Amino acid sequence: MDDNGRWAQARGLDRIKGHHEGAESVREISKACREWGVEALTLYSFSTENWKRPADEVQGLMQLLKRYLKDERNELIDNNIRLRAVGQIDRLPIFVRKPLQAIMRDSDRPNVKMTLTLCLSYGGRADIVQAAQRIAKAAQAGQLKPEDLDEKAFGLHLGTAGLPDPDLLIRTSGELRLSNFLLWELAYAEIFVTDVAWPDFRRPQLGQAFASFGQRERRYGKTSAQLTEGT
């Protein structure tokens, strides 16, 4: 979700206003995904690097998150959306952590239609390193043989364990980089980059991204002919 700050500045507004409009996009996109049958939506909301921003912007983002959680709690639960968070949750202020954990607990129900994951204080490399540490500890404790470790087992130690690998990565603001997002999980994702800023990314733009995705041929290393033959 990129370009909130510049979107606001280009309109002579405070950067935080861009984040507020971006939160509106989160609401609309979550709803659209849920209606269109998306199983999992994962939003890069705040990176480990974002802590380095000016204190008032960080504070504004945390307040916004608190408000989002308060306002969306019932909407998420009523729409059978399960909320999940990935990242260094213990670094978040208590006024965010508490409602976040409460919604995660209360929205984790058997009739869930979609999982909405917020990456908060998240970095892809840090998550992989953490997984490696957990695996090394398990091996040291004799609970895991190194030769038994495969990609599937490795993935179960990541913050995103249990979520399907993303089919589609959408990047707003036209930047052509991953910015440390889901480095392991995106291995085979289709990438859609749009010049649209995140506050302007709404249902029609999501529809365009899905239409583009629908035209891709996903070969996973095979040839086109193999795919049509089904081999």
Catalytic positions: 2, 50
Q: Is 6 in the site for ligand IPE (CB under 6 A)?
A: yes
Q: Is 61 in the site for ligand IPE (CB under 6 A)?
A: yes
- Helix crossing, 94-106 with 55-78: angle to 10°? 20
Structure-token pair, residue 95: 């006024």
Polymer length of the chain: 231
Q: What are the residues facing 193 on neighbouring strands? A: 171
Q: Which residues contact 98 (CB under 8 A, 6 or more apart)?
A: none
CB of 1 vs ligand IPE, minimal distance in Å: 5
- Taking the least distance from each CB to ligand IPE, the nearer of 64 and 128 is 64
Give the CA radius of gyration of the chain: 19
Half-sphere exposure at residue 229, Cβ-oriented, CA atoms within 13 angstroms: 6
What mask, x for binding ligand IPE by CB under 6 A, covers residues 188 to 207? ----------x---------
User: What 3-state DSSP class applies to 104?
Assistant: helix
CB of 29 vs ligand IPE, minimal distance in Å: 14
Q: Is 2 in the site for ligand IPE (CB under 6 A)?
A: yes
- Residue of 1, 2, 45, 47 interacting with Mg ion (CB under 5 A): 2
Contacting ligand IPE within 16-45 (CB under 6 A): 22
Q: Is 113 in the site for ligand IPE (CB under 6 A)?
A: no
For residue 159, count other CB atoms closer than 10 A to its CB.
22
CB of 139 vs ligand IPE, minimal distance in Å: 36
Q: Is 1 in the site for ligand IPE (CB under 6 A)?
A: yes
| Binding at 134: pick from Mg ion, ligand IPE, none (beta carbon under 5-8 Å per type) | none
For residue 63, count other CB atoms closer than 10 A to its CB.
15
Residues that bind ligand IPE (CB under 6 A): 1-6, 22, 46, 50, 61, 198
